[in-house]
Structure 1
Amino acid sequence: MDWIRENKSLAVILGIIIAVSAALGYLLFDAWSKYSATKENFLAVSSQVMTLKGAPLAPTEANVQAKKALVEEFAATVNKLGAALLILQPQVQPIKDIEFQAKLKTKVADVRKAAGTFKMFLPPDFAFGFDDYTTTLPKSEAAAAELSGYLDAVDELVKLFMNSGVEALDSLERSKLAVETAGAAPQPQRNARPGAAQGQVAAAGGVLEKRQVSVVLTLDQGSLQLLTGRLANPSEMPHFTSLRLLRIENQNQEGPIRVAAGSAAVAPPIEPVVAAPPAAAGAAPSDDILPPPPAPPDSIPLIGQEKLKVRMEIDLVRFLDSARGVASQGAPAPQR
């Protein structure tokens, strides 16, 4: 302390030197830390760049142009597919409102006659789900044309049920088109159940629309397998379909009790074998070997013979005109 008092100027200079040295040391340490972090980041980025350059698809200009050409080729293929789908689906033909009503009544009469031939039950008030138009006309000719194409699709669906061996079409409900509900609040359909189709569903981008048909059928297992296969067969079903929901229940929820099953399996009494009458005089003896009589049944099937109650929700898919050039509306840009 005495030296500091005696050499105040020198002590001040030494204090300043010590303070500046401490500040410079802190700045040097901070700069070194930042340098180390920056170097590590640089090395990591350099490693990623080298990995990308060594990859099969490196972000070079040549690869970008090649990918762009592939995207354009893909877009052209998608547009060709959309145009082909528009050609394959049945076209909507113009029709007047009164002609549509007459067509509906004719198809109802024809399907009832065919149902009698195929022995398939139909509800007494069956009208393909177009019950309202048996007494009223569509709002316009444009609506009549759309409804006519919709009726043709449902008619083909019912014919498919008949050809597949369906025993009963217990109910049929359909979703309404936009031309039917335009300007009016949506009304619940007759006999509509929770989860039933309530409206026309448009897909993303306006490429297609789905018209939903909900049916309850009575059939056996073989007919169900045949029907599900034919729904996706264009030679059997000319309209594009998609099976959205399938619910299967046994018609009989409970099996037979043991006493009933046992009594049904009781074998009938065995009839005594009666000897064949002797051959007539002068007739040649027969060398035919006759099979023994069949054994009496000793069991009955308990499962696999019952009928099924099946609920199906089927989407009738219709592609719109925009499907012809859907890929040109916004092709994905090549990603780097």
Structure 2
Amino acid sequence: MDWIRENKPLAAILGVILAGSLALGYLLFDAWSNYAETRDAYLSMGSQVAGLKGSRLAPTEDNVKAKQALVEEYAVNVNRLGGALLILQPPVQPTKDIEFQAKLKTKIAEARKAATMSKMSLPPEFAFGFDDYTAGLPKSAAAAAELASFLDAMDELVRLFMQCGVQSVDLLERSKLAIEQDQAASSPQRNSRTGVQPQQQMASAILEKRQISVILTLDQGPLQLLISRLANPSDMPFFTSLRLLRIENERQDGPLKSDVRLPEVVPPNPGGGGEAAAPAPAASDEIKPPPPATADSVPVIGKERLKVRMEIDLVKFLDAAKGVVAQPPVGR
């Protein structure tokens, strides 16, 4: 006490420092407590949100009505999209069997003529993959109509090859339609025996995939253009999906040294050798560039073409595409 009385200013300063330290310690403790509580509340809320997202809807009347409204809205939008797709794809026109055969022969002749003009090579037995029908007829009028629509798509594809600069079509094959193999009536029974899921049955009722296999010889630029235009509806009116693409160089081995030849250099004729020398140019003040230098190198690699194998799915939307969602799944 005597020291405090003797040193009042210093004691006051030490007292203020001590009180401030105690106040700051309290504030720090209080802030840490609030942070811990806030963190625990945040983690608890996050776990609750995750649990709500992963849990099923409670079977209350309000939730049932809300779910039915969302399902109906989804069905309307999907059916509207299906109707638009049916309008966008070319329709199937009624065709007789003899008419289809005549159409096939006409398309083959036109494709060969157009390929000659565009300098694109076709296989010797080119028939768009319909070789069986150059000398035979489809089994029914329904089959002839579907085959005629398939032929139109194949013709559009070959013309697209010509427009993109394909140099050669080495192979062109197509898958058989179910109506050609008399499988249209037996497909539902086959699906039920193998246990296909209702979603897969519904998808098969919405669309049909017709596979096309081609082997092409072309350059890199035409390949990029072809892939781009396959997905453009204005260039390809039929819906297509590129399922497989395999690219190889036309030549797997590098060129031999004997295959590399420099261009021959023709020496200038000074006037001898029995040929008349070229007259010397008249004097002129015109500045002319010097003649180009003789080539001393040639490209060895990089000019070879590409061998491309493409598996293309020709997608045809069926009439059920505009109303399949509104129908309850099988087995419900």
Q: TM-score, normalised by structure 1?
A: 0.69
Match of 1:294 among 292, 295, 315: 292
Provide, for residues 131-158 of structure 1, a one-character-per-residue CA deviation record: whole Å limited to 9, x for no partner.
1111111111111001100110011111
2:216 aligned partner: 217
1:207 aligned partner: 206
Aligned residue type for 1:51: Q
2:157 aligned partner: 157
CA distance in 1, matches of 2:259, 2:101: 53
Q: 1:232·1:241 contact (CA, 8 Å) conserved in 2?
A: yes
2:149 maps to 1:145: no
Aligned residue type for 1:96: K
2:125 aligned partner: 125
Match of 1:312 among 301, 310, 313: 310
CA distance in 2, matches of 1:114, 1:228: 21
1:34 aligned partner: none
In 2 relative to 1, CA 169–260 (structure 1 residues): closer, same or farther, beyond 3 Å?
Answer: closer
2:301 aligned partner: 303
How far apart are residue 89 of structure 1 and its match?
A: 0.3
Q: 1:86·1:321 contact (CA, 8 Å) conserved in 2?
A: yes
How far apart are residue 265 of structure 1 and its match?
A: 4.1
Q: 2:206·2:318 contact (CA, 8 Å) conserved in 1?
A: yes
Percent identity among equivalent residues?
Answer: 63
Provide, for residues 50-86 of structure 1, a one-character-per-residue CA deviation record: whole Å limited to 9, x for no partner.
9369969985765654444333222211111100000
Query: In angstroms, what is the RMSD of aligned CA positions?
Result: 3.1
Question: What SS is found at the alignment partner of 2:179?
Answer: helix
Aligned residue type for 2:226: L
How far apart are residue 256 of structure 1 and its match?
A: 1.4
1:27-176 equivalences under 5 Å are 51=48, 62=62, 65-176=65-176
2:276 maps to 1:277: no
In 2 relative to 1, CA 276–69 (structure 1 residues): closer, same or farther, beyond 3 Å?
Answer: farther
Q: 2:202·2:324 contact (CA, 8 Å) conserved in 1?
A: no
Question: What SS is found at the alignment partner of 2:180?
Answer: helix
Question: What SS is found at the alignment partner of 1:99?
Answer: helix
1:161-200 equivalences under 5 Å are 161-182=161-182
Q: 1:96·1:144 contact (CA, 8 Å) conserved in 2?
A: yes
How far apart are residue 231 of structure 1 and its match?
A: 0.6
CA distance in 1, matches of 2:325, 2:174: 31
Provide, for residues 226-280 of structure 1, a one-character-per-residue CA deviation record: whole Å limited to 9, x for no partner.
111111111111000011111111111111134544xx2478367599995225x
How far apart are residue 210 of structure 1 and its match?
A: 0.5
Unaligned stretches of 5+ in structure 1?
Answer: 1-46, 185-200, 280-284, 332-336
Aligned residue type for 2:48: T
CA distance in 1, matches of 2:299, 2:61: 72
Aligned residue type for 2:265: P
Aligned residue type for 1:231: L
CA distance in 2, matches of 1:167, 1:114: 13
CA distance in 1, matches of 2:110, 2:173: 19
Aligned residue type for 2:298: I
CA distance in 1, matches of 2:300, 2:174: 36
How far apart are residue 291 of structure 1 and its match?
A: 1.7
Q: 1:168·1:218 contact (CA, 8 Å) conserved in 2?
A: yes
How far apart are residue 123 of structure 1 and its match?
A: 1.5
1:187 aligned partner: none
Question: What SS is found at the alignment partner of 1:150?
Answer: helix
The number of equivalent residue pairs is 260
Provide, for residues 177-219 of structure 1, a one-character-per-residue CA deviation record: whole Å limited to 9, x for no partner.
11110179xxxxxxxxxxxxxxxx9883411011011111111
Question: What SS is found at the alignment partner of 2:316?
Answer: strand
CA distance in 1, matches of 2:179, 2:87: 23
Aligned residue type for 1:278: A
Q: 1:86·1:320 contact (CA, 8 Å) conserved in 2?
A: yes
Question: What SS is found at the alignment partner of 1:181?
Answer: coil
Q: 1:123·1:170 contact (CA, 8 Å) conserved in 2?
A: yes
How far apart are residue 290 of structure 1 and its match?
A: 1.5
